Chains A and B, each alone.
Chain A
Amino acid sequence: MLELIDLRRRFDDVVALDGVSFEVPEGRIVGFVGRNGSGKTTTMRIALGVLHADAGTVMWRSRPVDAVTRRRFGYMPEERGLYPKMRVREQLVYLARLRGTPKGVARSRATELLEVLEVVGDPNDRMETLSLGNQQRVQLAAALVHEPDVLVLDEPFSGLDPVGVDVLADVLRGQARDRGVPVVFSSHQLELVERLCDEVVLIDRGRIVARGSIDELRAMRARNLWRIEVPAATDGWWEVVPGVSLTERVDGAVVLELNDGADPQRILDLARAEGDVAAFGPVRPSLAELFREVVAE
């Protein structure tokens, strides 16, 4: 398990991290979500030792992380960049060797990754001759080439086309499932996070504001909303049931919030009495909606 414990960091007068704590269990994929400037990159940089924390610790398998254990981490920084003039495979081999992978292993692993990630072009091409999408894939290969024990990826999906997104999602799932790697990545593509992650950590202004599986977040956060469409109904038909209030009207349907133990079946019966029910069901808030709600508090 990768544990971040009470990380704090200031930049001059700005508090970037104000006690950030969360865990990434082995074999799990954790989505790290927050607005721009909320502290995601700072947290990840500290986890990788690129930046020092003013206080707090990073633990891996119950021991504080040092420069030697960090060599087994895989990292994709938000600010992408590799040597522009260096050949693609040579570059991957170099980065793997910096992290202690023997030359031969690094070489075959690099070749394999370039195939798996569908990088178009020759492994001996110079980095700068590749398209941006391909450079992005090589950058991901650089995070994976030394077969890391932990993966920390800052916005890995940004800049990828839909095919690239699928390839990357498969790779991350594979790393977590087959190798038991804890994976944490940040993203603004919340539907992707929802689809891919076992758990989500929400950060806002340097503090963790919510964490857990999507269902847990929903249970914790979501209001009891039901969407009902009865084209023939008279307006305000639901008002006879106590604890029911209108939250919004969408495309001829109404979204009702049920409180104080109001029974959805009772609402359905009422609706039927009004006419044909075209649609009826609970509204499951998306991660984006949950996120907005949490951040708005």
Chain B
Amino acid sequence: MSPEPTDRGTWRLVARRDFWVRLRERSFLISTLINIAVISILVLARASSAVASGPSFDLGSVGPGTVAEGAAALGAQVGVRVDVRSFPDVTTAMAALRDGSVDAVVTPTQLVGQSGVDETLQRLVEASARNAAVTAILDEHDVSQQERDRANDATPLPVAVVQPTPPHRNENAAVAFVGVLLLYGQLFGYGIWVASGVIEEKASRVVEMLLSAIRPKQLLLGKIVGIGTLGLAQLIVISSFAIGLAFATNAIDVSSSAFGAAGLVIGWFILGFAFYATLFAAAGSLVTRMEELQNVIVPINLTILVSFFISIGALQDPNGRLQVIASILPTSSALAMPVRIVLGAAPAWQIAVSLAALVGSTFLLVPLAARLYAGAVLRTRGRVRIREAWRSAE
């Protein structure tokens, strides 16, 4: 039995333990289920509102049916669904109207409703009737097909907009909202898990055994990677579920940015988690009991919470000054930047600066946090001041 020549990979053992231990914890299962429930509600709510936003009508028709078919064709052009049902005579059509199986009936002479006719449906039928009348007159005057086409092809006024809305704006906002909600939950929840994992080892005193075997930096790295990987795995499961459900219920359509957004959320989770978890771990090492955890993580909690609200604000105003700044500063970019990217509001240079700032500050933060951690983690009596921890790790 010869020992491995180096201890470089030891953090992987720590990561593996932290991953499996927490995977088996009940709170993991519960948080997964809660996440899936919340996502389901959001997706289903959107799915039902998507259906409701395109009104649909059942239109009874007696006679040749040209007007009713024309109304259906016009409706299709403006996103209104009109299903035409033909009836042999007025009596049967009226019976269907009375029992509610059609919303209105078109006869050669009139449009009949039960207690009234929906305004949209009425306009469609009127326009269709007018078209039919025009066609009849054109027929009477033997107007050639060529001339009719010319009349129909009269170019409508070209439309110009001052500030174009990107395609799928509405869908993207919905996707971004779900994304930022997920990111917030994961960054916060798994960050707390890192802090409490550190405290757990301190409170049970096992940390001295661990530090006699491996270096503090390895222990810190292993813990962050292990818990982060679990958070990542959960995020992937939840986003796959969300996308699958959204497609199945037509809440979003396939051409939308859902896949890209899921990728963004996952990528920014990795970066943001590395940043916040390092802070959480250092904070956790300063206290000995779980009850004291809240006291030391308040600044981190607030930072994440404020970032979350700014990101929600970015859904409305992705180019507001606050949102732009928040999406670049590493303390908030993990939440604010993905929203702006999904909404198509972030220029490439801002994304690049934001990424560089987040990655760079994490690299700076890790040795600082590791030193605090190393200095504080063996002090198992009471709360340790940051300065004390810093100095005792010299």
Contact = CB atoms under 8 A, between A and B. Distances in A.
A141 to B, nearest CB: 12
Q: How large is the interface on A (under 10, 10 to 19, 20 to 34, 35 or more residues)?
A: 20 to 34
A45 B208 CA distance: 9
Contacts of B204: 81-84
Given A50-B378, A83-B204, A77 B212 contact: yes
Interface in A31-72: 45, 48-52, 67-68, 70-72
A100 interface: yes
B23 to A, nearest CB: 14
Contacts of B13: 94, 97-98
A272 B331 CA distance: 92
Interface stretch (B2-10, B145-153, B231-239): B2-10
B1 interface: yes
Given A80-B205, A100-B3, A49 B378 contact: no
Given A51-B378, A82-B204, A75 B1 contact: no
Nearest to B378: A50
B212 A49 contact: yes
A73 interface: yes
A105 interface: yes
A147 B1 contact: yes
Contacts of B6: 68
B206 A72 contact: no
A99 interface: yes
Contact of B206 (A51, A68, A81): A81
A100 B7 contact: yes
A20 to B, nearest CB: 19
A70 B206 contact: no
A45 B6 CA distance: 22
A101 interface: yes
B209 to A, nearest CB: 6
Interface in B231-264: none
B215 interface: yes
Nearest to A83: B206
Nearest to A97: B13
Interface residues of B, number: 30
A119 B1 CA distance: 25
B96 interface: no
Q: Which of A49, A70, A77, A82 has the most CB of B within 10 A?
A: A77
B353 interface: no
A56 to B, nearest CB: 15
A52 B392 CA distance: 9
B21 to A, nearest CB: 7
A75 B208 CA distance: 9
Contact of B212 (A48, A82, A84, A85): A48
B285 interface: no
Nearest to A149: B3
A50 B1 contact: no
A246 interface: no
Contacts of B380: 79
A51 B21 CA distance: 28
A145 to B, nearest CB: 11
A51 to B, nearest CB: 7
Nearest to A147: B1
A224 B207 CA distance: 49
Interface string B320-338: 0000000000000000000
A86 interface: yes
A51 B379 CA distance: 11
B1 A101 contact: yes
Contacts of A95: 209-210, 213
B270 interface: no
Nearest to B222: A98
Nearest to B207: A81
Nearest to B377: A50
Interface of A: 11, 45, 48-52, 67-68, 70-73, 75, 77, 79-86, 94-95, 97-102, 105, 142, 147
The 3 A-B pairs at the shortest CB distance, nearest first, are namely A81-B205, A100-B3, A77-B208
Interface of B: 1, 3-7, 10, 13-14, 17, 21, 200-201, 204-215, 378, 380, 392-394
